[in-house]
Amino acid sequence: MQNPVDPVKLDRLAEVAVRTGLNLQPGQDLILTAPVTALPLVRKIVEHAYKAGAGLVTPILSDDQMTLARYQHGHDAGFDRAAGWLFDGMAQAYDQGAARLAVAGGDPMLLSSQDPDKVARANKAMAVAYTPARERITRFATNWTIVAYPDPAWAKLVSPDLPEDAAVHRLAEAIFAASRVSDDNAVESWNAHNTELGRRSAWLDGQDFAALHFTGPGTDLTVGLAEGHKWLGGATRSQNGIVCNPNIPSEEVFTTPHKFRVNGTVSATKPLSHQGTLIQDIAVTFKDGVITQAQARTGEAVLRKVLDTDEGARRLGEVALVPHASPISQSGLLFYNTLFDENAASHIALGQCYATCFQGGETMDSAEVARRGGNDSAIHIDWMIGSNQIDVDGITQDGTRIPVMRKGAWAS
């Protein structure tokens, strides 16, 4: 196989990332983060960014082998530290109008054999240090997006029975299909898709549900919704007025739960790949918004460390609806990557909420977000609870139940 990654489709993905994902404006700066293995995509993104009139593109690259060197040779005290100066600088750049683009990739299981205590400590330090930048992202202070590149280690994890080139080709084609860049009409395809996601969001907004009720095998969960919540999906207007697509791919419509009004039990329908650990068969119980019991068949120790990150880590910051018929679900692949797996099934997220998921959230301060039930945390971790066996009902303000999903499909 001469080139396992189709260069024409790769160029389309870069163009969609800049034009549709970011909607990058002439003169706007761009902060671009990516693993070094994604350089072919990074170079194309930079090219399209400058063609779109970018002011200055600043790439920040990471490397799996350098990350491993830290865990193999680093001093113990160093795992409680993170480069806060870097994230402070990113936050300053966003405040000054820079856009943000992240390329997902790398080996999802990179840290699976490393000391879990060190991994947890490093993750916590990173989550705290990243707060200034993350806060700008979660309230959409600027336009941002995430796309993916088929790293060989990631590809072999998804397709362990294939030779490396064949595995990379398979993952690349799956990424291109999910990202809607498999043909020449990629930008037009995204426009049509955004229209449909917008229609779903508008219908849900019109219902003004007080709560959603998820039922199915291992799940009987009532998710109360925050006061004045708003549904988003696909294209989103950031506070700088630029309409962007924050996730490519994206099949979800999502909003903010009320941090004190989540009750019942819920079981994960797909594994969660988190910082090198595969957490399988998550099952938790919520009472008055907080997780009171949690277990998992594998990775339970890591799950518990995540829940202990801070007080908000045991509460929800997002609930999202995704039909089982989504292209990512129908691919039959487990991507071991939340960007993709979350778009295969309805999901919930532990931790930080999105301020933009409130009516008038663009100008709302953190105190008002909290008053309306929005959660605050140093983490935001999505995990999947939807399938073709899950029903979802909306509960109106007067207690009326309206079918939203049946067996993972939209009810109307």
Q: Which residues of 254-284 are buried (b: 16+ CB within 10 A; e: fewer)?
A: bbbbbbebbbbebbbbbbbbbbbbbbebbeb
Please name the residues in contact with 129: beta carbons below 8 A apart, sequence gap of 6 or more. Answer: 82, 83, 84, 87
How far is it, in rounded angstroms, from Cα 244 to Cα 27? 16
How far is it, in rounded angstroms, from Cα 23 to Cα 17? 8
pTM of the model: 0.87
Q: What share of the chain is helix, strand, coil (3-state, %, to 5)?
A: 40, 25, 35
Q: Where are the domains of the chain?
A: 7-178, 203-233+251-410
Tens digit of each residue's pLDDT (9 = 90 or more) over 82-92: 999 999 999 99
Longest dimension (CA), the chain: 62
Tens digit of each residue's pLDDT (9 = 90 or more) over 252-290: 999 999 999 999 999 999 999 887 788 999 999 999 999
- Give φ, ψ of 300 to 5 degrees: -60, -40
User: How much is the pLDDT for 330?
Assistant: 86
Residues written for the chain: 412
The pair of structure tokens assigned to 362 is 């663009």
How far is it, in rounded angstroms, from Cα 69 to Cα 110? 11
Tell the residue number behind the tokens 């870069």, with chain if given: 14
How far is it, in rounded angstroms, from Cα 134 to Cα 202? 27
User: How much is the pLDDT for 278?
Assistant: 85
Per the DSSP assignment, residues forming a β-bridge with 34 are 61
Please name the residues in contact with 362: beta carbons below 8 A apart, sequence gap of 6 or more. Answer: 140, 237, 239, 355, 356
Task: Report the half-sphere exposure of 104 (CA within 13 A, side-chain side).
Answer: 23
Using alpha carbons, list the distances in angstroms from residue 233 to 114, 162, 181, 236, 377. Answer: 37, 35, 19, 7, 22
The pair of structure tokens assigned to 242 is 């630029």
User: How much is the pLDDT for 363?
Assistant: 81
Reading across the β-sheet that carries 347-351, which strands appear in turn?
Answer: 253-255, 316-321, 347-351, 380-384
CATH number corresponding to 7-178: 3.40.1830.10
How far is it, in rounded angstroms, from Cα 94 to Cα 102? 14
User: How much is the pLDDT for 139?
Assistant: 85
Tell me the DSSP string of 182-222: SSTTHHHHHHHHHHHHHHHHHHHHHHT-SEEEEEETTEEEE
User: How much is the pLDDT for 362?
Assistant: 75
Please name the residues in contact with 203: beta carbons below 8 A apart, sequence gap of 6 or more. Answer: none
Reading across the β-sheet that carries 219-225, which strands appear in turn?
Answer: 290-295, 283-287, 257-267, 219-225, 211-216, 391-395, 401-406, 409-410
User: How much is the pLDDT for 370?
Assistant: 95
- Residues of the chain falling short of pLDDT 50: none
User: How much is the pLDDT for 294?
Assistant: 98
User: How much is the pLDDT for 1?
Assistant: 59
Tens digit of each residue's pLDDT (9 = 90 or more) over 362-398: 788 889 999 999 999 989 999 999 999 999 999 999 9
